[in-house]
Structure 1
């Protein structure tokens, strides 16, 4: 293959279904010789049929141009001759090659049968951390100038450039990694795997570069330990005046008056010897991360006593931003590196032992082989082992659940010293700054040293609810029942194959004992189900069923007995199968039997998690204080069966533990106050005004010059739900999107509404603009990244898209908010919060529901203006913003000087278009 010429081909067609009469309308080909593009062919083709308007819009081709172009039968022989004796490359080769061959056959020519390579698969393997493998996105990722996406000649050249880059990266891989890739490459599309064989054949044995090391069967990147360094320019004293701060910032970042005010406020109070609680609202543009990190860094670098800092956030995404952006910037400003650790649960990390086992015994198909290959390459790149770096859409697959880290460390492992989770735990124990998330902090509070006496809660509006939700747990009887059935099938298979497998024959007593315990577990699961159903008094669960204290008084003994018997039995089963898991050398087994043992280990790991949930539920029910928890039944993920849930009714105990752990607590976020009032936020955390020092900073943005709040004159009752409301939404939004061409985010309260509106928008606009939707077109992270790379896309989002995402500049210009984000009363957290308020003779709506919605609306608006140069419009579809008894309060979610304009519906799009033209 080394001396061959590559033909990189791209086709544009009238449609993707080649058997539905679709035709080629453009042929593009780039010829590669000696890693250089030597020729570029571009050819328009008359399809002799009507071309869908969406295809013309997508490709930019014109009907008149294609009408005068040659037909395929006129150029077919030339194209076939061009491709003869060349290696065929395409970005999704299983589209271009079959489509081309069918066109050849239709004009009486034989199909071609070249060596064919897919650059999508090559990119997935060689660029494991890319956000997207679409040609346009890969070009951006690799800084390739791709001028005309969806035109065959431009696409072919871009694909050729990508292929050359991937080929060169392949040549840099260590020989042992190449060998492992070759072993897996047989599962790749067509002859894509031959590229790996070719590079391995050309590879010469060479020592590993210094940044890599060989541990066991893996070639991994060496971890660089952080060393705190100080140079002579370091200023050990906090710069008191603004001029001192400007001098220290030295044009590295732009000075901000509000940020300096925040820094001084923290510096004045953070070193108090008594319990200190600070609450700071820092709007977008203030620079709150540096606003607290900079003054606190002086507490961390004091000789004695040596303080340590824990920062907790609402999401792992914000964790990563702080770790990768804010902390390095702080080190640059202080001329001193402060050691920092990113701390999240073990399941986020790769377990090298489990990955080694999967490589040897795991199921093999195209999907798992690509994932295994990309991880082998990624190991030469990553220093963290954090699986989130791979940006996978779904980590809940059997593959990733088989290789992610369990919450234990095994010192006897050959990989113990380089174990990624081990490194995380060690780093957190000694770091100056630990960055974690609210859920992890709440569940592992006792793991934090008492020396870490400063706590910063970033995006603190979520903290109270996250503390409460950290106690949420559940077990699913039907999920457990299905898992037991799957295990039963595996054990039966192992028992049936004992005649043909000597090792299995020796293990028959263990297998039979395991089957006995499993059979008992299946019966006990049914018994538990009967007790839960009896408790609920309902056979079918469609919405949450709350179990009241009286139910437990009458039936608690029977429920606990059923749980206890099942827990004991599952313990016995897992102990019995331990020999099958650890006492068998699967290398001596037949592949099918070894595969069954691997499946059994996977299912037992899952079963152990099920058991943990059962034990936790049992403990809560046994606890004399179990009345502090609410118990309820809800629908399981399958939408059919139920879950038995428990949830703390308040977070008082965690609040007390935090006060003991951290003498200095700083709460900050962009949306903590309603107007100038912090009362709601303080009440959620159990603070009174005398417990805290508060600071509210003004926004640095001139909203009256940058943005508008736009409302339609004719609205649909926001109290309505269902198809009629969704149809009104789509009908109102569609003309706006047709008359504008700016990046647009549409915020919903309901995923069901997103599905309905997306279908309408995609049907009408899909050929003209990229429409992305939460829960439909990819994971939240993936569609957010695609949205950032787009020019005129539309993103439909709910929940997490109301906050915590950053689309500065032209990444977001139009924000459409469908309705005020009131929480559903069916939400269990809301239910218990409302129950507590009613018990205190407080009305839930004005006390909790309304202020919570106002703060979330404030967060939603904050997505629009992220920098001083941003501009944009908020289109608010909910008439209650101006026509309700609480409208004045709701409007406090928006900046006071924000212009508010009400227009007839048919004028909305024109007004928005004019706004951006001006």
Structure 2
């Protein structure tokens, strides 16, 4: 029985004592591990919400490894993938004495493409000298790397414009016709995955394959009996990205760039490449111009023949011009198709672009929603409202005798605010799954406090963000930094960031870090350092991805300030379509959608504060609705059970206590 082995492993003095520093048995961790073991033995779907500090990674890894089954592990990000593969799995396998073979599989954009690297070397249009130097560094690394995983290359900025030139996409990969096919890092990674006992992937790769059956999972998944999804709260939003259809003007421009490079290098003089490419580029830019000026990051509704505010005739003509430009490109490419496989693949890309343009010229599919993301480029999107049907049809109802015995584990620290975890299970098609909620072992009442400042203006008042910045500045000064400000909008991010940077610029008191000024990893590293090595303490102002997955344990973070309740944006087309569907079912869009969304997001943001059993801190929610509106009780109940501060004086006392603890711990080596 797997459960007996799991119980022994988690017992006092068991094998986990050798795998984890300071390990001690936790009731919740063992409870989750036994539930996972039962699910593996019996088959079916298990959904587990495991509060921060439970230790859910070991709770699913130990029974999975002890089962001896082939296991697929899917995480939310490539960073978590690397942590699982490079740290957690090796440590556990050594402690358990298991010789399991493991493999790491990422999307093709994470791996060096040797063929495209060679094309880039001959490309005279590299962006700048820095790109030329970076390419030389990549070429040198390419001689020694075994995996080709660009994450292993130190000093390569993840935002480098060179990366698209030395990696492949599903659209531009030449497949078996590639001259470097035998040495292809993507293929070697897939072969290792097919031969491994435990394969670590990410949600994006999993759903990309579910949509197009291209990434290698089509061969891998049928051989796996246990599939585990960590950070499962991201599954629905990740899935809808891939299960719909997208067309971007950037795809057209990338296609034109690749066609020009291949034409001039491999078939110069046989086709007027400049003219053919110019037609495609003009068509892509005309599609962007058809929308006109928009606010940065605008998302346009699209319920009729054209997006909101866009002339329907001009829009239809622009889509048709793009389709015709692709048709002309296909004709030109057909005249040189036998010279190199690059031209055949380019023709296939042109056909796909034309097909998508034609699809978006027609009506939207039923049970789907369309919109346009408008920025420097356009992104046309048709998306399902959730992944429920895809999960039921493609995962839970797979054909074959092994389907009924397959085990699906879904886990995260935040999956809903009711007993059935409906926020997660309903849109993911898992309403019939077994559900388990495991509470955090932290003593939140002793470790953390919640403060809702009543004197602040309403969240939509013009002066609200400035008041949030002033409050954050006051708290950060008293704590010597150690403050993270989480915003619900990019506008608030900019306003609060500018206010704080203006307040502390040149003073040497605090360093204000704002999302976007550096890569995320560098921002987190600097924030964790805090006032170490003679540096000033830090305030970090961030939005979006910083609400989750950011781990800053210890005294580096003692104050989290959230600017307002994170309700879904009412003007968002996907939010509107989901709300309308609930209304048509006689349900309340606010109670059944907006409130659960806000509860989960608020819980994720609050989760940044207490990461270890010794952490102490204060959470400030700068939205009076949490204290004054009836639904505030439901949102507060979704938060960890922190003690509540009722006045400004109590808030200042809490800050002083935290500052006193910090001074004591930094001066007295006996305090831990």
Pairs within 5 Å for 1:291-306: 291-299=59-67, 301=68
C-alpha displacement of 1:539:
5.6
Contact 2:115 2:180 in 1 (8 A): yes
2:439 to 692, 695, 698: 698
Inter-CA distance 613–521: structure 2 relative to 1 (3 Å threshold): closer
Inter-CA distance 772–579: structure 2 relative to 1 (3 Å threshold): farther
Q: Which residue of 2 aligns with 1:436?
A: 201
Name structure 1 gaps, 5 residues minimum. Answer: 1-234, 302-306, 495-502, 584-600
Inter-CA distance 608–835: structure 2 relative to 1 (3 Å threshold): farther
Inter-CA distance 394–628: structure 2 relative to 1 (3 Å threshold): farther
Contact 1:541 1:634 in 2 (8 A): no
Pairs within 5 Å for 1:561-640: 564-576=323-335, 612-619=352-359, 626-636=365-375, 638=376
Pairs within 5 Å for 1:844-883: 844-883=589-628
User: The residue matched to 1:864 in structure 2 has which SS?
Assistant: coil
Q: Which residue of 2 aligns with 1:719?
A: 460
Q: Which residue of 2 aligns with 1:252?
A: 19
Whole-angstrom distance in 1 between the partners of 2:301 and 2:449: 44
Pairs within 5 Å for 1:138-287: 238-240=5-7, 246-253=13-20, 254=23, 255-272=25-42, 276-287=44-55
- Matching of residue 405 in structure 1 with residue 405 in structure 2: no
TM-score normalised by L of structure 1? 0.62
Contact 1:393 1:779 in 2 (8 A): no
2:425 to 675, 682, 702: 682
Q: Which residue of 2 aligns with 1:346?
A: 108
Moved more, 727-736 or 878-887: 727-736
Contact 2:326 2:353 in 1 (8 A): no
1:665 to 391, 408, 411: 408
Q: What whole-Å deviation, never above 9, does each CA across 1:41-88 have from its counterpart, x for those lacking one?
A: xxxxxxxxxxxxxxxxxxxxxxxxxxxxxxxxxxxxxxxxxxxxxxxx
Q: Which residue of 2 aligns with 1:771?
A: 512
- Matching of residue 314 in structure 1 with residue 76 in structure 2: yes
C-alpha displacement of 1:392:
6.1
User: The residue matched to 1:464 in structure 2 has which SS?
Assistant: helix
Q: Which residue of 1 aligns with 2:386?
A: 650
Inter-CA distance 491–340: structure 2 relative to 1 (3 Å threshold): closer
Whole-angstrom distance in 2 between the partners of 1:680 and 1:463: 12
Q: What whole-Å deviation, never above 9, does each CA across 1:85-108 have from its counterpart, x for those lacking one?
A: xxxxxxxxxxxxxxxxxxxxxxxx
C-alpha displacement of 1:606:
9.7
C-alpha displacement of 1:713:
3.6
1:813 to 549, 555, 558: 558
Q: What whole-Å deviation, never above 9, does each CA across 1:360-406 have from its counterpart, x for those lacking one?
A: 55557541243134335544764432223346685454422211234
User: The residue matched to 1:434 in structure 2 has which SS?
Assistant: strand
User: The residue matched to 2:47 in structure 1 has which SS?
Assistant: strand
- Matching of residue 547 in structure 1 with residue 290 in structure 2: no
Whole-angstrom distance in 2 between the partners of 1:330 and 1:770: 39
Q: Which residue of 2 aligns with 1:511?
A: 271
Whole-angstrom distance in 2 between the partners of 1:449 and 1:895: 37
Q: Which residue of 1 aligns with 2:640?
A: 895
User: The residue matched to 2:510 in structure 1 has which SS?
Assistant: coil
Inter-CA distance 614–771: structure 2 relative to 1 (3 Å threshold): farther
Q: Which residue of 2 aligns with 1:797?
A: 542
Q: Which residue of 2 aligns with 1:788?
A: 528
Inter-CA distance 377–526: structure 2 relative to 1 (3 Å threshold): closer
Contact 1:518 1:573 in 2 (8 A): no
Moved more, 848-857 or 876-885: 876-885
Contact 2:46 2:409 in 1 (8 A): yes
Q: Which residue of 2 aligns with 1:730?
A: 469
Whole-angstrom distance in 2 between the partners of 1:379 and 1:388: 13
User: The residue matched to 2:459 in structure 1 has which SS?
Assistant: coil
Moved more, 801-810 or 784-793: 784-793
Moved more, 284-293 or 394-403: 394-403
| Structural RMSD (CA) | 3.7
Moved more, 655-664 or 406-415: 406-415
Q: Which residue of 1 aligns with 2:665?
A: none
Q: What whole-Å deviation, never above 9, does each CA across 1:14-36 have from its counterpart, x for those lacking one?
A: xxxxxxxxxxxxxxxxxxxxxxx
Task: Tell me the matched-pair count.
Answer: 626
Q: Which residue of 1 aligns with 2:657?
A: 914
Q: Which residue of 2 aligns with 1:454?
A: 226
C-alpha displacement of 1:800:
0.8
Inter-CA distance 452–635: structure 2 relative to 1 (3 Å threshold): same
Inter-CA distance 526–357: structure 2 relative to 1 (3 Å threshold): closer
Contact 1:438 1:466 in 2 (8 A): yes
Inter-CA distance 296–796: structure 2 relative to 1 (3 Å threshold): same
Structure number with bigger Rg: 1
Moved more, 780-789 or 425-434: 780-789
User: The residue matched to 1:882 in structure 2 has which SS?
Assistant: helix
- Matching of residue 758 in structure 1 with residue 497 in structure 2: yes
Q: Which residue of 2 aligns with 1:199?
A: none
Inter-CA distance 344–609: structure 2 relative to 1 (3 Å threshold): farther
Whole-angstrom distance in 2 between the partners of 1:420 and 1:245: 43
Whole-angstrom distance in 1 between the partners of 2:70 and 2:250: 46
